[in-house]
Chains A and B, each alone.
Chain A
Amino acid sequence: MTTPEEHILEVLKGLPVLMTRSHRLFLSIPREDLIKTMNILSSELAIQHLSTITARDKGNDLELLYHFMLQGVVITIKTTCPKNDPTIDSIVTIFPSAILYEREIHDILGIVPRGHPDLRRLVLPDEWVGGYPLRKDWKPPAEQEAEE
């Protein structure tokens, strides 16, 4: 019997999959390939469980991590987008539960998922004007004003 990891590695053969420890797989892809990869995950691996989407500020780039789970194995798809063009294809049509997580990253880091059906202001209060708090160069509104 093959373990879930072996099964995944078999399907994703040819892609640069990194295994840090058992049950943890990482795969870095360019952002153009995102939808293609997601389709593979969804159709060939029959993954339905998107755990969450993490985004982080790497300095000049913003890194996105899509954490999926299949039988206890966490598969993380990594991709980046530059800070001056923070857009990414939305995966809502493939994974409906991403609707929440994409709004979250839109709100706290200002990444725009293209094709997202409902991108209302969702981070922080409605009247929030202070920018994206989880970016590294972010400062609290009070400090921003003081600098100006």
Chain B
Amino acid sequence: MFKSLVKWARIKSPWILHMNCGSCNGCDIEILAALIPRLDAERFGVLLKGTPRHADVLVCTGPVTTQMKERLKRVYDQMPEPKFVVVVGQCGSSGGIYKGSYAVEGGIDTVIPVNAYVPGCPPRPDAIADGIIKLLASIKKGGKQ
């Protein structure tokens, strides 16, 4: 009983921490645009938090520059379990257009495990909301506890 209550709470209250690992800002403003009245992500219980200690879902953008690699890892480690990672945008998924540059690692998943990808450059805010919904659906089905 208690377990299912916790699961329910987890799905109802995904607090997100947004981290830019070298993206062009396009995705970052679109993530914020998912919070504004037009889509209002707070309907799903999403709150944008400033510190990794409070967050459940790490929303990453960008191809991970050499400088951000260590910091991304550290922020991820600071988040309390259970934690989830959503990648927004093509450069975060794979390095995309920056692939081959000397200064990028090429994708968030080269550094930390990723739970969901949202393709697009940048994706529409509804596509980002769709990514969050799909992530929550996977938590509901079981997935990572």
Contacts and interface: CB of A to CB of B under 8 A. Distances in A.
8 contacts: A124-B66, A124-B103, A125-B66, A125-B67, A130-B102, A133-B102, A140-B102, A141-B102
Contacts, number: 8
Instruction: Report the contact-size class of chain A (Cβ under 8 Å from the partner).
Output: under 10
Nearest to B66: A125
Contacts of A130: 102
Interface of A: 124-125, 130, 133, 140-141
A125 B105 CA distance: 13
A125 to B, nearest CB: 5
A144 to B, nearest CB: 11
Interface of B: 66-67, 102-103
Given A124-B66, A125-B66, 6 more contacts: A124-B103, A125-B67, A130-B102, A133-B102, A140-B102, A141-B102
A119 to B, nearest CB: 20
A6 to B, nearest CB: 41
Interface centre among B66, B67, B102 (most CB of A within 10 A): B102
Nearest to B103: A124
A40 B102 CA distance: 40
A125 B102 CA distance: 11
Contacts of B102: 130, 133, 140-141
B110 to A, nearest CB: 15
A126 B81 CA distance: 32
A130 B103 CA distance: 11
Contacts of A124: 66, 103
Contacts of A140: 102
A113 B129 CA distance: 50
A85 B132 CA distance: 56
B103 to A, nearest CB: 7
Nearest to B70: A125
Interface centre among A124, A130, A141 (most CB of B within 10 A): A124
Contacts of B66: 124-125
Contacts of B103: 124
Contacts of B67: 125
